[in-house]
Amino acid sequence: MQPASAKWYDRRDSVFIEFCVEDSKDVRIKFDKSKIDFRCVGGTDNAKHLNELDLFDAIDPNESKHKRTDRSVLCCLRKTEAGKSWPRLTKDKAKFNWLGVDFNNWKDWADDSDEDLSSFDKFSDMMNNMGGDDLPELDGVDEHEPADSDDEKMPDLE
């Protein structure tokens, strides 16, 4: 058995782990309060995969779920303490070569506040409402003249 490659990310009330196994079969996942046990057969060579993780903090096994697709198995681990950030997935600080951070879904929500989010929304709306007609005039630029000599037509090749 070999570990399946996986990536994870943190949210306020859940932690997500995606086990990247294509065409997985016989998927078995056991959620415990402080552990997760992932097993399956998959890939082009029908390899047997096993991942056992001692989690950084406690989860609610009854509220944790998983979803299998043709490309991966996504697990949603419900935190027992919502709002508490996980600096890493595992209890130990050990690095696993099969485990990485899912930067496409990562969000540093611990620093966010409702005020910051509303300010961001206002800024985003302002940027969307800006038009191109209000651009300042540039001194020394005439819109009817070419910007430089490179814009002139080149002679035809013979």
Residues 100 and 34: beta-carbon distance below 8 Å:
no
Residues 59 and 33: beta-carbon distance below 8 Å:
yes
More confident residue, 117 or 145: 145
Say what the pLDDT of residue 97 is. 94
All structural domains of the chain, each given as residue ranges with its CATH number in brackets, are 6-84 (2.60.40.790)
Distance separating alpha carbons of residues 14 and 120, to the nearest angstrom: 24
Say what the pLDDT of residue 144 is. 53
* Residue 79: how many other CB atoms lie within 10 Å: 23
45-102: per-residue pLDDT in tens?
899 999 999 999 999 999 999 999 999 999 999 999 988 899 999 999 989 999 999 9
The residue ranges of DSSP E strands in 62-155, in sequence order, are 65-68, 73-78, 99-101
Burial 114-133 (b: 16+ CB within 10 A, else e): eeeeeeeeeeeeeeeeeeee
Confidence of residue 1 (pLDDT cuts 50, 70, 90): confident
Say what the pLDDT of residue 94 is. 87
Distance separating alpha carbons of residues 147 and 115, to the nearest angstrom: 45
Say what the pLDDT of residue 75 is. 95
Strand partners, 78: 14
Residues 14 and 77: beta-carbon distance below 8 Å:
yes
- Residue 132, CA distances (Å) to 12, 51, 127 in order: 39, 54, 11
pTM of the model: 0.67
Q: What region does 83 belong to: left with phi over 0, alpha with psi -120 to 50, or beta?
A: left
103-142: per-residue pLDDT in tens?
888 777 655 554 444 444 544 455 555 444 444 454 555 5
Residues 86 and 56: beta-carbon distance below 8 Å:
yes
